[in-house]
């Protein structure tokens, strides 16, 4: 088993979570202890007697993955077994930005030696597309349905990178499943740091976003190419690397192929939201210097 994650898991065809997970485990050569809160990844990979994992794995509650990981790290330190592997958390965006944000803040504050990976599929996709803190504005979810008055989610996507940076986390990065070699490099770089590490990986969801199973990578690439999902890397609070975009595409190209944004092209307020998203993309490009 090359990737420490086996076939036969229950993910939808074309799901991007296993792509992110297998490349992280491959980069760590399987030397890790995985903590996984409730979410899609837990459901697909750890049904009873159907575990897809080839590394030590523990399923925690929805809110306390960071606390469980901190405990494992402290125990390994006390037993002088730190060299056996890194402690890695695979959490969804809901478990990171909404439900588990308290424990995560505590872990960052105490600066435990844990690699925290947020698999960002931009809603609670496990229970059928409910909005989370990381859902982008305008997205149609079951809790923010597009109707006569409201055009999907109102508000903005939570900036978890800034949240991690505000805690003084030594290594903070974003990545995308469209670039697995980048994920591998970032994971290898992250574990060189002592203390908490935070990597947020953009993972398109086939059913929740309403895309074809073979379009996962295409959509992830478009999110990066429109600058809606900037790929950045911070070391000790300083921006060291960004993924430059050769020709920035308009956000409509990213929006029109997804069912969750389909209403924006018909809704009376849709135009405003598209302009708002384009403004966010322009701001990202300016802030991080994405245009090559």
Which of 55/239 has CB closer to other proteins? 55
Which pairs count as long-range contacts for 247-252, CB under 8 Å and 24+ apart, including other chains?
248/281, 248/285, 248/290, 248/291, 249/222, 249/225, 250/226, 250/278, 251/226, 251/277, 251/278, 251/281
Which of 21/273 has CB closer to other proteins? 21
Which of 191/211 has CB closer to other proteins? 211
Inter-residue contact 89 to 115 (CB < 8 Å): yes
Cα→Cα distances 247→222, 229, 272, 287, Å: 11, 15, 24, 17
Site residues, other proteins (CB under 8 A)? 1-3, 5-11, 13-19, 22-23, 45-55, 180-181, 212-218
Task: Give the nearest distance from C-beta 17 to other proteins in angstroms.
Answer: 8
Task: Give the nearest distance from C-beta 61 to other proteins in angstroms.
Answer: 13
Which of 142/212 has CB closer to other proteins? 212
Task: Give the nearest distance from C-beta 36 to other proteins in angstroms.
Answer: 13
- Point out which residues pair with 171 in neighbouring strands: 197, 235
Task: Give the nearest distance from C-beta 210 to other proteins in angstroms.
Answer: 15
Task: Give the nearest distance from C-beta 109 to other proteins in angstroms.
Answer: 29
Which of 223/285 has CB closer to other proteins? 223
Instruction: Please report the sign of the dihedral spanned by the C-alpha atoms of residue 118, residue 124, residue 129, residue 135.
Output: negative
């Amino acid at each position: 088993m090359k990737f420490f994650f086996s076939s036969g898991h229950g993910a939808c065809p074309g799901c991007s979570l296993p792509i992110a997970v297998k490349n992280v485990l491959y980069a760590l050569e399987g030397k890790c202890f995985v903590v996984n809160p409730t979410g899609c990844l837990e459901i697909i990979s750890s049904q009873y007697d159907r575990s897809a994992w080839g590394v030590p794995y523990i399923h925690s509650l929805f809110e306390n993955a960071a606390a469980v990981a901190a405990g494992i790290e402290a125990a390994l330190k006390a037993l002088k077994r730190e060299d056996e592997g890194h402690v890695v958390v695979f959490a969804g965006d809901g478990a990171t930005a909404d439900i588990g944000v308290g424990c995560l803040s505590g872990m960052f504050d105490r600066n435990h030696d844990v690699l925290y990976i947020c698999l960002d599929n931009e809603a609670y996709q496990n229970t059928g597309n409910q909005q989370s803190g990381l859902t982008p504005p305008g997205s149609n979810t079951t809790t923010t349905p597009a109707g006569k008055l409201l055009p999907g989610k109102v508000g903005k996507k939570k900036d978890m990178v800034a949240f991690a940076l505000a805690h003084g986390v030594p290594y903070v990065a974003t990545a995308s499943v469209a670039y697995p070699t980048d994920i591998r490099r970032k994971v290898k770089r992250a574990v060189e740091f002592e203390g908490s590490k935070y990597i947020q990986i953009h993972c398109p969801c086939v059913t929740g976003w309403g895309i074809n199973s073979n379009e996962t990578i295409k959509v992830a690439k478009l999110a990066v190419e429109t600058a809606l999902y900037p790929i950045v890397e911070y070391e000790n609070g300083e921006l060291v690397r960004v993924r430059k975009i050769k020709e920035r595409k308009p956000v409509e190209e990213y929006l029109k192929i997804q069912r969750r944004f389909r209403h924006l092209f018909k809704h009376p307020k849709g135009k405003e939201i598209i302009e708002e998203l384009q403004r966010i993309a322009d701001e990202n490009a300016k802030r991080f210097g994405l245009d090559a």
